Structure 1
Amino acid sequence: MFGANKGQANLQDGSKLKIAIVQARFNEDITNELHRAAREELLELGVPEKHIEHITVPGALEVPLALQALAEQDRFDALIALGCIIRGETYHFELVANESGAGVSRIGLDYGLPIANAILTTENTEQAVARQTEKGRDAARVAVEMANLIGQLA
């Protein structure tokens, strides 16, 4: 295979990385667990505690603006977006899910900065609870791997 895993053995080493987490407070029980799991995984991957910044915003629609402000600081190797959008009876779910997702992607591409998107979009609270821990951990692993990969490609 062309370039398969060349030099990628150490992509899960977070010891030299600085990572910021943006957490939406809406559905806080879920997002607090997402944050706990992500932070725990970052520490397990070697990211120093002092190199993990955590900020909160009201909801998922505010996450991209906070990510943009962090990206503009040029201090972080990767960012993590945490939130939880649970379908209700109105179109608001689609609006929030689509706009927050598009915003997160746009910031990453505009700034060339890896952003692990763990803004859950679920049909109900039970689905969110079932995913909260693993998605938090996944986000941390994605952030570390992509930060290292982009560093190697630069």
Structure 2
Amino acid sequence: MQGAEKGTHNTLDGDGLTIGIVQARFNEGITNALFDACRNELIALGVNEDNIDHVTVPGALEVPLALQAMAHRGEYDALIALGCIIRGETYHFELVANESGAGVTRVGLDYDLPIANAILTTENLEQAIARQTEKGADAARVAVEMAQLMSDLAVDDGDMDLLMHGEQDPQ
């Protein structure tokens, strides 16, 4: 590939982007802090507050289904998953962490849509509190960067014809 290197955005610019956020309510003190940090960072990056859609679901296992419904609408440049899973004394932690993570990834791949996964998985409440603000802001940066990258990598109709029919570009 020749030309400008793609995916090296030194300046994150959220102007004109529409972002959807799905927040799990379980461990609500943590997830509210994640959301606040995420929303504030999106706005600081230039995303118009009116272009940020926010929905809540009961817990991390419900996040992928809500992401899927939002992705299906085709209105978003990127989505963000927010949640908090704290290890307990049972296998439930692994189940919720693994299944929610796999679901988030699947939705992104199925819809060719970037999803910043900020579902915290921690050993205890103290670790969650220590990460909540930075992880929320980081999710916003990831969403904006990946939306920009996907726009850069988008194949226009003319390029798609070349790819599908094996014709050479006359240039």
Give the TM-score category using the shorter length.
over 0.9
Q: Distance in 1 between matches of 2:106 and 2:45?
A: 27
User: Does the CA contact (< 8 Å) of 1:12 and 1:45 recur in 2?
Assistant: yes
The Cα shift of 1:9 comes to 3.8
Alignment of 1:128 with 2:89, yes or no, is no
Distance 1:73 1:11, change over 3 A: farther
User: Does the CA contact (< 8 Å) of 1:11 and 1:148 recur in 2?
Assistant: no
Please tell me the residue identity of whatever aligns with 2:77: D
User: Runs of 5+ in structure 2 lacking a partner?
Assistant: 155-171
Alignment match, 1:16: 16
Higher RCO (CA 8 Å, separation ≥ 6 residues):
1
C-alpha RMSD of matched pairs (Å): 1.7
Q: Distance in 1 between matches of 2:65 and 2:115?
A: 13
Answer with 137-146 or 4-13: which moved more. Answer: 4-13
Please tell me the residue identity of whatever aligns with 2:120: L
Please tell me the residue identity of whatever aligns with 1:14: G
Q: Distance in 1 between matches of 2:87 and 2:8?
A: 39
User: Does the CA contact (< 8 Å) of 1:17 and 1:51 recur in 2?
Assistant: yes
Alignment match, 1:95: 95
Alignment match, 1:141: 141
Structure 1 runs, 4 residues or longer, greater than 2 Å off: 2-11
Distance 1:93 1:4, change over 3 A: farther
Alignment of 1:40 with 2:40, yes or no, is yes
Q: Could you state the TM-score of these two structures normalised by the residue count of structure 1?
A: 0.95
User: Runs of 5+ in structure 1 lacking a partner?
Assistant: none
**2:93 counterpart SS class:** helix
Alignment match, 1:80: 80
